[in-house]
Amino acid sequence: MNFQHLKYFLMVAEELNITRAAERLYISQQSLSNHIGNLERELDVKLFTRSPKLSLTYAGGLLVDTASQILDLHSQYLTKVGDINKQYLGVLRVGISHTCGLALLPDILPRFRAEFPQVEFSLFEGNSTQLEDELSHGRADLIICFQPIIMEGVATIPLTEQRLVMVVPRLFTDQLFGPQAEKIRLQFAQGADIRAFEHLPFVLIKRGNRTRNIVDQYFSRYYFKPQLILETENTVTTLAMARAGVGITICPELFLRAIPAPSPEAAGVDFFPLTDPSTFSKLVAGYRKSRYLSHFGQRFIEIAQDILEA
């Protein structure tokens, strides 16, 4: 049994389809079948049932966990040796939300690639729950997300503290406050009064997102019921809707870096921060305490800190 056998086995176990697994491995189906057959003969056990469809046997399920641990330990060892010899080779697997990645990675990656040109960068995008799942199963070396991280055994490094910002179409502000609009803009630039916007449409990220949880708690604190006209999985969509004058949205200040460029028809937006302490949240980098974090993983975090502090 060798590392290649285990990698091939895990790919088949993930896909449960020889054709798709072979395509992802860039080998023929026959070659992949031979590798699995050889592994089964070596272990003297069936790892898969072939009919009515491919599925793991009990022994195969046990091997998934064992093979994952073996390959993970092997990867960590190679990373440690690479750090000792300063031969920075390997893969850095980062988990991050789509919008956070859009806001940060264009600044982080060029610097990271310049320092570590031989390190492969692998990206997983998902919500907080999905990021923690990737980290817990060893498919991500580190994640960048907002606290709290529910998963146990995670070391966190603070990157920045973020406040939530209301993104309000300028035409809404003009219509709502009339001749007083400019005065209100100056006033609300220091902190918005959410109650002034009670009868205007809102476009928000869907429930279950951690930012949405904070927003909902804030609404409850101020007995505010938004006129919600759209919910979406993507913060960029909410920002685009605000740009188009469809509705008000609320997002972390960091995400304004990802705001779409205004179209010629767009009337622009106002940015009004929320100042209630409950609306502040910390962006952190998290990694498992039980796993070795490579030097280049540490540098990725340091570069992120530098950029967010600039």
3-state secondary structure labels for all residues of 202-214: EEEECECEHHHHH
Neighbours of 126 (CB within 10 A): 17
With a threshold of 0.85, does the pTM exceed it?
A: no
**Residue pair 103/283 in contact by the 8 Å Cβ criterion:** no
Cα 228 → chain centroid: 25
201 vs 197: CA distance, rounded Å: 8
- Mean of the pLDDT values across residues 159-184? 94
- Mean of the pLDDT values across residues 209-218? 89
Q: Which two tokens stand for residue 38?
A: 């050889």
- The answer, yes or no, to whether the previous bond of 277 is cis (omega within 30 of 0) is no
Neighbours of 42 (CB within 10 A): 11
Same-fold call for 1-86 versus 161-281:
no
Eight-class DSSP state of 152: S
| Phi, psi dihedrals of residue 71, rounded to the nearest 5° | -65, -35
Task: Kindly report, residue by residue over 79-123, the tens digit of the pLDDT.
Answer: 777 766 676 678 899 999 888 999 999 999 999 999 999 888 999
154 vs 136: CA distance, rounded Å: 9
State the pLDDT at residue 87. 62
State the pLDDT at residue 266. 55
Residue 297's nearest CA partner among 125, 88, 102 is 88
- The partner residues of 89 in beta bridges, in order of sequence, read none
Regarding the domain with residue range 161-281, which homologous superfamily does it belong to in the CATH classification? Answer: Periplasmic binding protein-like II (3.40.190.10)
The overall average pLDDT reported for the chain is 89
Residue 193's nearest CA partner among 228, 214, 166, 229 is 166
Residue 173's nearest CA partner among 245, 262, 227, 266 is 245
State the pLDDT at residue 129. 87
pLDDT surpasses 80 at 298: yes
Residue 131's nearest CA partner among 94, 91, 104, 101 is 94
Q: Where does 1-86 sit in CATH, by number?
A: 1.10.10.10
State the pLDDT at residue 85. 65
Sequence ranges of the domains in the chain: 1-86, 161-281
Eight-class DSSP state of 53: S
Q: Which helix (H) or strand (E) holds 48?
A: strand 48-49
Q: Which two tokens stand for residue 308?
A: 């967010």
